[in-house]
Every structure is written in structure tokens, then in C-alpha cells.
């Protein structure tokens, strides 16, 4: 029973860390990478679809993304979708190829992005702690129902705490890495 609670807690904590990675990928650094455009959707035959489903997105160099739509008619729609997104990017079109240069980050925008990254990391930490609280509550209810002993309860709570410490450390390491990326010029 305790192992089931522990497995459930670990999978939920893992999902929190994965969500943090996804959220941090949306915060752009000065370097170009295709995951920056993951949140951009384009109208395609009457429905909104992710940009990567209607075009190839490649990194041309450290500061430029290259987008090649699969249909010529999609070029203006993709251009408009990138401009109206909240990413602050200005695409330029050359025939069928759309280039998206990454603007240099100013000190002020870097600090703003770091603040945003810290906020995302804190949300992930809170999520992990909530999972710990739920798991400990489940263990305590097992003790109340006399399905486990007090020793098993203490061991279970210690195991959950070790998991919590492991995932919080992973979150901190991820945040530190993102801050380093943001401060690089």
C-alpha cells in the first residue's frame, strides 16, 4: 500500500518537473531554438494547429530560426501568427522561407525573464510539496484505519520526504541552468 502511494507521488512529482521544463522552454534566451515557437498556433483550414504541424522549423544559426511551410499559402498566416504571439519576434519572408531573427536581450529583459523563471520554479516546488502533503495524508489515513503500523507510517513519510528533496533539488538545478543561459551574452 505504501509502495503504491510512493509510486503515485513520484509520478506526480515527475510530471511537475516536466511541466517546469516545458514552461522554461517558452522563456526565450538570446539563442535560437525551435521550442520557442511551440506555443504559436496557426489557422489551418478553419482550425488552430501548432506551427510545427504546418511547417519545418530549423535553427539556421545561433540567432536565426528558419521556417519552411509545407504550403505556399501558409506563409502570410505563419508570419501573422508569429507577429501576434507575445514572443516579441519579427519574421521576414524571402519567397517560401520565413526567417525569424532573435533580438539581443537587454539587461532589463534578462532580469525580467529570470524573475519569470524563478516564479515558474516556485510553482513547481509548490506542486511537489502539495504531492508530498497528499501522500502523507494518505499514509496517515492508512494508520487511522489500522492497515499499517506507526513504524511503517514513519518509514513511508521518510521515503516521501526523500522523494520531495530529490525533486526540489532537480527543480533548483533546472532553474540555475536556465538563469545561466539567460545571463549569457
User: Does residue 119 surpass a pLDDT of 90?
Assistant: yes
Domain boundaries, the chain: 2-26+106-183, 34-101
pLDDT value at position 154? 92
Residue 71 has pLDDT above 90, yes or no: no
pLDDT of residue 30: 66
The strand pair at 92-94 and 64-69 is best described as unpaired
Topology of the domain comprising 34-101: Gyrase A; domain 2 (3.30.1360)
User: 34-101: same fold as 2-26+106-183?
Assistant: no
Question: Which single residue is written with the C-alpha cell 516556485?
Answer: 122
Q: What CATH number has the domain spanning 2-26+106-183? A: 1.10.132.20
H runs (alpha helix) in the chain? 2-26, 75-84, 107-144, 150-183
Q: Give the tens place of pLDDT for each residue, 175-184.
A: 999 888 887 7
Percent of the chain surpassing pLDDT 90? 31
The whole-number pLDDT of residue 111 equals 86
Mean pLDDT of 58-76: 86
Say yes or no to pLDDT of 28 above 70.
no
Amino acid at each position: 500500500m505504501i509502495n503504491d502511494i510512493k509510486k503515485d507521488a513520484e509520478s506526480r512529482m515527475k510530471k511537475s518537473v516536466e511541466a517546469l521544463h516545458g514552461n522554461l522552454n517558452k522563456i526565450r534566451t538570446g539563442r535560437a531554438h525551435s521550442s520557442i515557437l511551440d506555443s504559436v498556433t496557426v489557422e489551418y483550414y478553419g482550425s488552430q494547429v501548432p506551427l510545427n504541424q504546418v511547417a519545418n522549423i530549423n535553427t539556421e544559426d545561433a540567432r536565426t530560426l528558419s521556417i519552411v511551410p509545407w504550403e505556399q499559402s501558409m506563409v502570410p498566416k505563419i508570419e501573422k501568427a508569429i507577429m501576434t504571439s507575445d514572443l516579441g519576434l519579427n519574421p521576414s519572408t524571402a519567397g517560401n522561407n520565413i526567417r525569424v531573427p532573435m533580438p539581443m536581450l537587454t539587461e532589463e529583459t534578462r532580469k525580467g525573464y529570470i524573475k519569470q523563471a524563478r516564479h515558474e520554479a516556485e510553482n513547481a516546488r509548490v506542486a511537489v510539496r502539495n504531492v508530498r502533503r497528499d501522500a502523507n495524508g494518505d499514509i496517515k489515513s492508512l494508520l487511522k484505519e489500522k492497515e499499517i503500523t506507526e513504524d511503517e507510517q514513519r518509514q513511508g513519510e521518510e521515503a516521501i520526504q526523500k522523494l520531495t528533496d530529490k525533486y526540489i533539488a532537480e527543480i533548483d538545478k533546472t532553474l540555475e541552468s536556465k538563469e545561466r543561459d539567460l545571463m549569457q551574452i
